[in-house]
Structure 1
Amino acid sequence: MKYYTLLCVVFALFITSCKEESGTKTLYLAHTLPQTHPVHKGILKFQESLDKKSNGTLKIKIFPDGQLGSEREVLELLQIGSVAITKVSAATMSNFVPEYHVLGIPYLFRDKEHQFDVLEGPIGKSILEKGSKFYLRGLCYYDAGSRSFYTSNKAIRTPDDLKGLKIRVMNNQMAINMVNAMGGSATPMAYGELYTAIQQGVVDGAENNPPSFVSSNHFEVSKYYTLDQHSAVPDVLLISTKYWEKLTDQEKIWVQEAAEESSEAEKKYWNDSVEESMKIATEAGVEIIIPEKSLFAEKSKSVLEEFEKENPDLSSLIEQIKKN
């Protein structure tokens, strides 16, 4: 009932926003992240750039902090045209477009430069466009960092150190397969329960990027952080095709250019956030471990092999990314 009421309110707001006043159009943008997050700062850059390019004729009204619902709920609002734009994880988009699954394969990208060469080139742009048939057109990618292991009482220096450890993962089959392949015991669990679970020894650790490790306060109950950087799933900025089709050709150019400019800015904000987070963790007494990543990559090869076996039609895409 609560969601239905919210939907009605948002739809009413959307109808109002479609009215052009003095030649101005307003696009509603909703996301689930706090306003201190580097992705939100990137979205502010998007808002600023679009206002400047359009001379104030295209405005962005931002609803952060999950004000309009979860990622899934906001995606539904985009699909019916009640909200114009949102940011979600590429993992969430894989429920609509199988190609997004590929971006979560462990050690698919050689490094950050390779990742964004792929994402910002023909391969990445092709994936962004594939969501259009579900009314979810991708505009650009945002950096969401690399996920690494952190543990409470035992340091992970090689994959062998994962043996016997319960590691919390998202309820995602690839993440589960990866941890199990490396020798750990993958334990899906709600993110909100994780702090207490580590503190009480229900799980031995988890995996995430540095800003999340710190903002969740997990560094308070985890003594070791191993930067194995096993996966780098980006975020995606999406626009509802129902709103995209209402824009003129010139307005579409402005929106796309502003999105790409915000992507560049967000990468810098993300790097700053990583540096700050690592400093906080180190000062709190967390041991930062730089392991031999090739050992972890070797252990996770079976994840790729299993994925290709189950998704033979995506093998060509994987090869293209490797050769890029």
Structure 2
Amino acid sequence: MKTLKKLACTAASLAIAFTISGCSSLDSITGGKRIIRISHAQSESHPEHQGLLKFKEVIESQLGDKYEVQIFPNELLGAAQKAIELCQTGAIDFVVAGTANVETFEDSYEIFSMPYLFTSPEAYHEVMNDAEYMEKLYESTDQSGFRVMTWFDAGVRSFYSTKKIETPDDLKGQKIRVQQSPASVAMVKAFGAAASPMAFGEVYTAIQQGVIQGAENNELALTNNKHGEVAKYYSYTNHQMIPDVLIGNTKFLDSLSPEEYDIFMDAAQQATQLELDEWEEAAAEATDYAKNTQKVEFIEVDIEKFRDKVIGVQQEMIDNNPKITEMYEHIQKVNEEYENKEDAE
């Protein structure tokens, strides 16, 4: 682990040094190619990494004489918040992070941390795949030095713990890791638990050492990040659907010719499509492995009991952040459309 951290620091330092020294230094080292660095938190087997490999493939197949894409998984260039800061400065070019990390720069993104915002994965995908609608939100961080290119499905978030969670009362007294989002903290507090925001890479050790009892995430966290080795109960509370997003440094994106920019955008869309295609199968495989190999117990719960506990959190978010009102109303319309379809069937 120490060796990996040293490598991460070295890689990040090199990236910063390259940025400061300018393109001429890069040209002399890479034979004229501009190195594109992408950071993310997942393993090489994760659907997001597979999506980024597609991104790399598309860029290099069409612009390989000018660009070489390098992908750094497993937080090798730092945890998400640090990686976004490096992307802001141009030390790295792209990073995949959760919208909970982005909301610290643009509070419109807080909408995605709202518990039970979407009533179905279908409604969630409908909203996120509407690129024209999402464009305004994606460009809202330009002044912060980065722009969202596309989204990745990060599944449906539920609680997992060293203790059984069958009702909201079972969360009382537990310390639960959440993303660094005020809304997620408020949600966990509404359930009666203590919220512990921390970097994703710290969760395994924190559960193992008893610093926290559990966390909340999708099924892949149990296997790809080995959390199922230390947390043996996964409860389908389905409380959030928070996308991950591919963020690009604005200065770099603005330096591209219109033709190059279109290729990067097409690469991003192809990356999303591949990731979406991979996600469902990967989640099913993770569930099977967690259940049969890691011996994780999966628990179905009465979701309405959990939903009722956080109605106040939803209203408080709307009252305190007018920026999210329009999108909240838009999402409710999409939710209603899909609920009507289900009723008709």
Is TM (by shorter chain) over 0.5? yes
220 and 316 in structure 1: CA distance in 2 versus 1, 3 angstrom threshold: same
Map 1:31-180; keep pairs closer than 5 Å. Answer: 31-54=40-63, 57-121=66-130, 122-154=132-164, 156-180=165-189
Aligned to 1:29: 38
Shift of 1:244: 1.1
Structure 1 vs Structure 2 CA RMSD: 2.9
Contact 1:31-1:88 at 8 Å conserved across structures:
yes
> How far has the Cα of 1:227 moved from its partner?
1.2
Instruction: Indicate yes or no: 2:17 matched with 1:9.
Output: yes
Q: Specify whether residues 229 and 17 from structure 1 end up closer, same or farther in structure 2 by C-alpha distance, changes over 3 A only.
A: farther
Query: Is 1:300 equivalent to 2:325 in the alignment?
Result: no
TM-score by length of 2: 0.82
> Residues 93 and 294 (structure 1 numbering): CA distance in 2 closer, same or farther, change over 3 Å?
same
Residues 1:299 and 1:45: Cα distance change in structure 2 (over 3 Å): same
Distance 1:197 1:74 in 2: 22
Secondary structure of the equivalent of 1:103? helix
Bigger fraction of residues in helix:
2
Give 1:26 deviation, angstroms: 4.3
Q: Residues 267-288 of structure 1, C-alpha deviation per residue, up to 9 Å, x if partnerless?
A: 2222222112111111132221
Partner of 1:206: 215
Which ranges in structure 1 are unaligned for 5 or more consecutive residues?
A: none
Q: TM (normalized to structure 1)? A: 0.87
1:252 paired residue number: 261
Please give the per-residue CA displacement for 1:231-255, whole angstroms capped at 9, x wherever unaligned.
1211111221111122111111111
Give the AA of the match of 2:325.
S
Distance 2:27 2:89 in 1: 14
Q: CA 1:261/1:195 → structure 2, altered by over 3 Å: closer, same or farther?
A: closer
Please say which of residues 187-196 and 200-209 is displaced more in the overlay.
Answer: 187-196
Whether the 8 Å contact between 1:119 and 1:125 is mirrored in structure 2 is no
Structure 2: where are the runs of 5+ without partners?
1-8, 335-345
Q: CA, structure 1 residues 46+189, in 2 after alignment: closer, same or farther (shift >3 Å)?
A: closer
Q: 1:115 to 1:249 in 2, by over 3 A?
A: same
Paired letter, 1:11 = T
Q: Is the 8 A contact 1:85 1:239 kept in 2?
A: yes
Equivalence for 2:276: 267
Percent identical: 33
Residue 255 of structure 2: SS of its match in structure 1?
coil
Q: Is the 2:55–2:270 contact (alpha carbons within 8 Å) kept by the matching residues of 1?
A: yes
Query: CA, structure 1 residues 45+296, in 2 after alignment: closer, same or farther (shift >3 Å)?
Result: same
